[in-house]
Copies of this chain bind each other. A is one copy, B any other.
Amino acid sequence: MNNVQEESLRDQKKFRRRLQIVEIARGIISAKGLRSLKVRDVAEAAGCSVGSVYNEFGDFDGVILTVNRETVQALTARLRGVPAEDPVRQLYGLAETYLDFFAAHANLLRSLFEHRMEDDRPYPDDILQMVMDAFALMHPPLVRLLPDADDVKIALLSRTLFSAVHGIISLGLEERMVAVPPQMLRQQIEQFVDTHLAGLGIAGLGIAGLGIRPLR
């Protein structure tokens, strides 16, 4: 018996179960949407009782928030992987990576943005912070492209770009109000970034034009 902190058999099982529950919950949200997530379904699919879910997560919101937390983390990891050599390409890359991630995990992203807590409890700060950090990834390339702009303006611009791109993608993928065929979304996003950068006085990559070359 060594004294190094070691996981007991109990703790290992508990940990595996926890992972299992989260995995199942994520699968259900991803496939059928947050509104279709039920404790009983999770418990059954995870091969345990509903009590165990409560044992591990306190309440059902705990499960949802864990999934959402991991969703931001995965998104952030993907965004961090965008090459940063060229700031213009980086901005395109961030937008396209967001699109790809959103398209692949639409219901997970919706869960992240739409989940409301019970009885007005506040949304966990760490998750909000991670979302902020994620779109702060636009700051460095923007600073490089607009060396004269101060921090406040960069921050505002990055919020604008994020919200705009988010709006185009989320309404676009919904296919309800704004009927854009999914295969055109990428083109639409590229066009958007192109035009917006041009408006900032930055020459874009000129992809998928309107027949109008920005800053020709």
List the interface of chain A (C-beta within 8 A of B).
35, 113-114, 116, 123, 128, 131-132, 135, 146, 148-149, 153, 156-157, 159-160, 162-168, 170-172, 176-180, 184, 188, 191-192, 194-201, 210-212, 214-216
Q: How far is the CA of A119 from the CA of B124 in the complex (A)?
A: 32
Contacts of A210 in B (CB 8 A): 146, 149, 153, 157, 200
Provide the bound-state CA to CA distance between A160 and B195, in Å. 11
Asked if B212 contacts A149 (CB within 8 A), the reply is yes
Minimum CB–CB distance for A209 against chain B, Å: 9
Tell me whether chain A's interface is mostly helix, strand or loop, or mixed.
helix
Q: A149-B211, A177-B131, A177-B132 are in contact. Are A160 and B201 (CB under 8 A)?
A: no
Instruction: Give the 4 A-B residue pairs with the shortest CB-CB distance, closest first.
Output: A167-B167, A199-B199, A195-B199, A164-B164
Q: Taking each of A132, A199, A214, which has the highest tally of chain B beta carbons within 10 Å of its own beta carbon?
A: A199
Can you name 6 extra interface pairs (CB under 8 A) apart from A131-B177, A165-B167? A156-B188, A164-B164, A164-B192, A196-B196, A199-B214, A201-B212
Nearest chain B CB to A157 CB, angstrom units: 7
Of chain B, the residue at the smallest CB distance from A162 is B178
In the assembled complex, which residues on chain B have CB atoms less than 8 Å from the CB atom of A178? 135, 159, 162-163
Task: Report chain B residues within 8 Å CB of A135.
Answer: 178
Given the interface pairs A146-B210, A168-B163, the reply to whether A200 lies near B192 with Cβ below 8 Å is no
